[in-house]
Amino acid sequence: MINPKQKYTDFIKAEALRLGFMSCGISRAEFLEEQAPLLEEWLNRNYQGEMRWMENHFDKRLDPRKLVEGARSVVSVLLNYHPEKIQRDPEAPKIAKYAYGEDYHFVIKRKLKELLNRIKEEIGEVNGRAFVDSAPVMDREWARRAGLGWIGKHTLLLTKGAGSFYFIAELILDLELEPDNPVADHCGNCTKCIEACPTDAIVQPYLLDSNKCISYLTIELKDQIPARYSDQMENWAFGCDICQDVCPWNRFSKPTEETVFEPHPDMLGMKASEWQEITEEVFQKIFKKSAVKRAGYKGLKQNLYFLRDHQERKS
């Protein structure tokens, strides 16, 4: 006779793949004891910068049972966003690949809601919530525990055969499932991500100072980017992919099959001059559904001005 826990686990994983997720893994919903002192130290060093929400709900961030009453399992999923094509003009300001297409929050939330509905249809009354980078949930740690990859030295999740160009999200359920086992760390002696980071944001293996990270500087920081970084931005206007681009595991990245992540056709061909002259009307057209709207037109223009001023000083 098939173990009910295994039956439900197999069903959920099969449904997740059917919905287009790259992979799905399970971990027990429990207190993240090992992460508590690490998170506390990271916050005490002020490595969160202006992301003050990271300081909120410390207990919930470490215990999913405080987010979903009676939680028994965390279902982690990965969704590939690696684009088939990238920006063509090498001189153009750069946008992180994750923001090329439709905002992942909406895309993944739709899929997770459908997955939760299918679980309820198949199994019965199951209480659960979907989380997509918008609540105090330690996504990478839960994905690691679920055997979906290991935490690389750049602090991102890495997966054999897939790299790191994917989103992570969860369903936290009051349903007991068969947990998966974590996989080994396969970074070895490689330090390419650390060496490639122009701002030295990876202060040591597995430790990131967000204040120095180009993604933070171009998205989360609301003030002008500090002048000391003018020679280190490497033309990134929104986000940064440097530590991922140099990672040997990303040679295995495959283009996403999610058509909603395809960039607006005009964006890939934009020349440097067109970026500097971008109007709010063009911004709304190209980034109508993109995560770039997090920075907003004014935020993006501020970053573009910063990059332009640096280029003009150099010349």
Q: Which residues are catalytic?
A: 133
CA distance 164 to 145: 16
* Block residue for tokens 């997720």: 21
Which residues are within 8 A (CB) of 110 and not within 5 positions of it... i.e. 6 or more apart? none
Which phi-psi region, left, alpha or beta, contains residue 28 (left: φ > 0; alpha: ψ -120 to 50)?
A: beta
Token output for 64: 């999913």
Other CB atoms within 10 Å distance of the CB of residue 242: 20
Note the Cα 162 to chain centre separation in Å.
15
Q: How is residue 141 written in tokens?
A: 């740690």
- Residue 152 tokens read as 């690389």
Helices 104-123 and 4-18: crossing angle in degrees, nearest 10, is 140
Classify 112 as helix, strand or coil: helix
CA-to-CA dists, residue 165 to 49, 78, 99, 291, angstroms: 24, 10, 11, 15
Query: Using CA atoms, how far apart are residues 235 and 226, in angstroms rounded to an integer?
Result: 15
Return d(Cα 132, Cα 169) in angstroms, integer: 5
CA 156, 157, 161, 166 torsion-angle sign: negative
CB burial string 45-83: b at 16+ within 10 A, e below: eebbbeeeebeeeeeebbbbeebbeebbbbbbbbbbbbb
